[in-house]
Amino acid sequence: MTARDDILNKLRSRGRVPETPPPVWQSRRRFESLAARFAESLPKVKGEVIRVESPDGALETLDTLFNDLGAQRIVANGDLPTLDWAARWPDREWHLVGQSDGDLRAFCAAADVGLSGAEAALAETGSIVVAAGPTKSRLATLLPPVHIALVPESILMPDIFTWTAARRNETPANIAIISGPSKTGDIEQVLAVGVHGPRRFIVILYGE
């Protein structure tokens, strides 16, 4: 027996019985209207919220934004409502993550808009939770200068604690919490927006 084996055997013999993990902490935060709180919180971190009453209203708002932004190249994640995006906007160039051919990274780097859905929207901080996967790329939310998220009111949660408690056994392995556009600061505490990612973050919050 080597010294290594001797040490490992001693450690195994002193193994402790696993303890029951503590219960998930439950938030006590309550908001009269999750949608109103979200719409109040996101602008405080330089994000934008557009509230509409229905999915059709969300698409009409999206059409207006594309025109206002002059968006010609759009990359879209696969967590969006089922729709033939290219057919609805045939005059624009699309890359659908996990469906379209070609270099995703190169398209995202040259795209005008990155379009995504969300796993959840957190009313307290005005944040959205975005997961990554075969049809959901973080590049689509990081590289284009404008990130637009389509968010139904049904996925609003009071805060991150409530969401993690609800998803304790099925939380995605790779998530990002997005709170406004990219921001950074220098030693003089001057805030700069859009340096390391999108300079605009727009959430279309729609009723169902």
Please tell me the pTM assigned to this model.
0.83
More confident residue, 160 or 185: 160
pLDDT of residue 15: 67
At 79 the pLDDT is: 87
Angstrom distance (rounded) from CA 73 to CA 23: 46
Backbone angles phi, psi at 127, to 5 degrees: -110, 155
pLDDT in tens, 91-142: 999 999 999 999 999 999 999 999 999 999 999 999 999 998 889 999 999 9
pLDDT of residue 122: 96
What is the spatial distance between Cα 50 and Cα 153, in angstroms, rounded to a whole number? Answer: 12
Mean pLDDT computed over 26-31: 77
Contact assessment for residue 102 and residue 93, using Cβ atoms and an 8 Å cutoff: no
In three-state form (DSSP H/G/I as H, E/B as E, the rest C), the secondary structure along 43-59 is HHHCCEEEEECCHHHHH
> pLDDT-derived band of residue 169, with 50, 70 and 90 as boundaries?
low
**What are the tokens at 106?**
């190169």
pLDDT of residue 1: 67
Question: Structural domain boundaries of the chain?
Answer: 32-206
| pLDDT single digits (tens) 46-101 | 999 999 999 999 999 999 999 999 999 999 998 888 888 989 999 999 999 999 99
CB under 8 Å to 44, separation ≥6 — which residues? 126
6 pLDDT more than 90: no
pLDDT at 12: 77
pLDDT of res. 9:
83
Which pLDDT score, from 0 to 100, does residue 167 have? 77
Strands in 85-199 per DSSP E? 93-96, 113-116, 120-122, 127-131, 146-152, 156-157, 175-178, 183-185, 191-193
CATH architecture of 32-206: 3-Layer(aba) Sandwich (3.40)
Q: What is the mean pLDDT of the chain?
A: 89
